[in-house]
Amino acid sequence: TDMRFYKWFEKEIKEYKGLKVTNKPNPIAKDIINLRDSGRTGLDTDPRALRHGNNSGYAAINLAYHTGAKNIILLGYDMGQTGTTSHFHDGYNIRHNPKIYQNNMLPHFNTIVEPLREKGVNVWNANPNSNLKCFPFCTIDEALNF
């Protein structure tokens, strides 16, 4: 969902052999599935479209729904800053303003909770330090036993 990430890691993405999905009209490549960007909030049930909540983690939840997942475990959804780190991974060359999580990302997650529940999809957050509180928490060990 972030074209900057694609530009920064284009070589690695092209080499990656797994599933590649975007909600952007570009890049166009035979091994990248381009889904229509259908907005920020809620759950899109059309398998040709994706809601994004202003972040790739939200879009990944909608994509997991499209793939038929009934249990989704969130890993690395910090949704905030830890010291000087703004992401669970080191893939970003920039640091986010901490307010972007509170103002532009976290509020959207509340809009996907009920639609997922209605579809019989369970979501757990396996990051006990996460600022994302709308899904129940679990440990990774618990998640491995679901």
Query: Is the preceding omega at residue 27 within 30 degrees of 0, hence cis?
Result: yes
- pTM for this structure? 0.89
- What pLDDT is recorded for position 34? 95
Res. 33: pLDDT tops 80: yes
Hey, what are 17's tokens?
């052999």
Model confidence at 138: pLDDT above 80 = yes
Q: What percentage of the chain exceeds 70 in pLDDT?
A: 90
Q: Is the pLDDT of residue 79 over 60?
A: yes
> In which band, very low, low, confident or very high, does the pLDDT at 92 lie, cut at 50, 70 and 90?
low
Q: What is the pLDDT, as a whole number, of residue 29? A: 87
Of 50-59, 96-105, 119-128, where does mean pLDDT reach its minimum? Answer: 96-105
Tell me the C-alpha distance between 55 and 70, whole Å. Answer: 21
Distance CA 137, CA 118 (A): 19
What pLDDT does residue 95 have?
66
Distance CA(62)–CA(56), nearest Å, equals 10
- Over residues 25-31, mean pLDDT: 85
**Residue 55 confidence (pLDDT):** 94
Under 8 Å between Cβ of 23 and 32: no
DSSP state of 24: S
Query: What mean pLDDT is predicted for residues 70-99?
Result: 74
